[in-house]
Amino acid sequence: MKYLSTRGLAPTKTFTEILLGGLALDGGLYLPEEYPQVTREELDAWRNLSYADLAFAVMSKFAPDIPAADLKAITDKTYTQAVYSNARADSDTRQIAPLRTLEPGLHILELSNGPTLAFKDMAMQLLGNLFEYALERQHGELNILGATSGDTGSAAEYAMRGKHGIRVFMLSPHGKMSAFQTAQMYSLQDPNIFNIAVRGVFDDAQDLVKAVSNDHVFKAEYHIGTVNSINWGRISAQVVYYFKGYFAATASNEEQVAFSVPSGNFGNICAGHIARQMGLPIAQLILATNENDVLDEFFKTGIYRPRGTAQTFHTSSPSMDISKASNFERFVFDLVGRDAAKLREFWSQVDTGGAFNIKDTPYWDELPSFGFVSGKSTHQDRLETIRATWENYGVMIDTHTADGLKVGIEQCRADLPLICLETALPAKFEATIIEALGREPERPAGMEGIENLPQRCEVMDAEVEALKAFIAGNVPG
Ligand SMILES: *Cc1c(COP(=O)(O)O)cnc(C)c1O
């Protein structure tokens, strides 16, 4: 299988070739030339597989260029109970991504039991092992440079810690993350993990990363790469849990379901779209946004209008505070019938700060056939949903999952079972839980005192030269 660029002007590549890279040379995102199909027989055979075996079955379709025995070893090593055990005390951690039924037909898929208590661990842990494998084979090395305001950075660090051939240089805004998030990242003592606390805000850290990445000479000399949400390895690994959730919530492969997905960069729900294109019986993909509702606006009006940073709100579901959804281009490529020229036309608007509108095009009439519906949730909705879920079911959920549950219940067709993806555990967002419930969230065993562990980080002014010097000083020449 080969991968093509959404912009249509870059050569096709294999899974392994795109694994370590970012955007295609023409600025597009990679997608399979054709989505692999899952037959009814395969669905039957997959229904009772363990998560690791299911991951192997799904990933084999996306990465046929990795020898089966090697891929099997990687999925077996990744999806273990030991890696995904940071769960609620009553979770069934013998399973990876267990389904929790709130009431008949209403479920939560627990995707946040990994090392950083967020769903990003589901894909990132696999990516760490895939990267190490690919680098070993090509005798290469990779220095991952990124900026984080919380979730992505810590998931990347926990995935890459101790991996051969890989170093992580992660920038974060000095003193701006919660004590828990700071402790999660800065307490890592692995010599290949470098936390850099930048004096400034998240955007300052982000600008530094961009400046270094735009210095192509430095980038090549120091093997600089990223693990951001457009990485195809991450998207493909996320497809797996849609299958897992479907099997857990249904008794037969005749049934249809709805998934509700708290969305920011459109990575998670893009994987749902792909699972549906492969033949998984998903009737509805329910996209939930917070006050940053650029995606809800698109599905309601046909207008995609990314916002500037000044119009991007800081909310109590911060991992969904995006102005522009970096994976959305993948879906629109399918929506326009894979017409790369059309896609380029739309994105020439987006890339220059504009918008596009599909309302008066044939694409608007095609949209319902993709199964998407959307809705928006506010701070008040989050508080109420967290409270109602606690009172009615005795289950504490985080703020992002609350957005998904609120919009999911609102938008789900009455005849469908609803599977809400849990994207983080409440322990990560203590302040809002206390605001909603007047009590602290439960912490997974072993995480009680992490704020008291010794921390290791380099504090730095927001200066490009200082960052380059730090990287150069820590990468053996
Ligand atoms: C990253 C993240 C999201 C948004 O996921 P996308 O793939 O960007 O749509 C939602 N909730 C949490 C907790 C996250 O960390």
Residue 313: count other Cβ atoms within 10 Å of its Cβ: 13
Q: Considering the domain boundaries, does residue 34 fall inside one?
A: no
Q: Is residue 292 part of a domain?
A: yes
Instruction: List Cβ neighbours of 440 (8 Å cut-off, separation of 6 or more).
Output: 430, 433, 434
Structural domain includes residue 105: yes
Pairing of β 142-147 and β 166-173:
parallel
> For the residues of 286-336, what is the DSSP string, one character each?
EEEE-S--HHHHHHHHSEE----GGGPPP-SSGGG--SS-TTHHHHHHHHT
Within a domain: 193: no
Calpha distance 9→26 (Å, rounded):
6
Distance from the CA of 400 to the center of ligand 1, in angstroms? 8
**pLDDT of the residue at 151:** 79
What is the number of helices (H) and of strands (E) in the chain?
Answer: 19, 15
Strand blocks (E) in 72-165: 99-103, 106-110, 142-147
The verdict on residue 306 lying in a domain is: yes
The rounded Å distance from CA 423 to ligand 1 centre is: 6
Q: For residue 214, what pLDDT is reported?
A: 87
Backbone CA torsion sign across 206, 292, 404, 335: negative
| pLDDT the model gives residue 136 | 95
Q: What phi and psi values does residue 433 have, to the nearest 5 degrees?
A: -65, -40
- Residue 194: the pLDDT is 97
CA 405 to ligand 1 center in whole angstroms: 14
Of 13, 120, 163, 342, catalytic: 120
pLDDT in tens, the chain (477 residues): 999 999 999 999 999 999 988 889 899 999 999 999 999 999 999 999 999 999 999 999 999 999 999 999 999 999 999 999 999 999 999 999 999 999 999 999 999 999 999 999 999 999 999 999 999 999 999 999 999 887 789 999 999 999 999 999 999 999 888 888 899 999 999 999 999 999 988 888 988 998 998 898 999 999 999 888 899 999 999 999 999 999 999 999 999 999 999 999 999 999 999 999 999 999 999 999 999 999 999 999 999 999 988 888 989 999 999 888 999 999 999 999 999 999 999 999 999 999 999 999 999 999 999 999 999 999 999 999 999 999 999 999 999 999 999 999 999 999 999 999 999 999 999 999 999 999 999 899 888 889 999 999 999 999 999 999 999 999 987
120 tagged catalytic: yes
121 lines ligand 1 (CB under 6 A): no
Please tell me the distance between residue 262's alpha carbon and the centre of ligand 1 in angstroms. Answer: 7
Q: Is the CB of 268 under 6 A from ligand 1?
A: yes
Q: Which of 268, 324, 374 gets mutated to test ligand 1 (max ligand atoms within 8 A of its CB)?
A: 268
- 3-state class (DSSP) for residue 233: helix
List the beta bridge partners of residue 172. 197
Residue 395: inside a domain: yes
CA gap 272, 275 in Å, rounded: 5
Q: Are 194 and 169 in contact (CB under 8 A)?
A: yes
Among 239, 242, 265, 292, residue to substitute to test ligand 1 (most atoms within 8 Å of Cβ): 265
Q: How many residues does the chain have?
A: 477
> Does 170 contact ligand 1 (Cβ within 6 A)?
no
Buried b / exposed e over 201-240, threshold 16 CB at 10 Å, is ebebbbbbbebbeeeeebeeebbbbbbbbbbbbbbbbbbb
Please give the residue range of the domain that contains residue 107. 93-116+233-437
**153: Cβ below 6 Å to ligand 1?**
no
Q: What are phi and psi of 48, to 5 degrees?
A: -105, 15
Q: Does residue 286 lie in a domain region?
A: yes
pLDDT in tens, 264-308: 999 999 999 999 999 999 999 999 999 999 999 999 999 999 998
Q: How many domains does the chain have?
A: 1
> Is residue 177 within 8 Å of residue 145, measured between CB atoms?
no
332 located within any domain = yes
CATH of the domain at 376: 3.40.50.1100
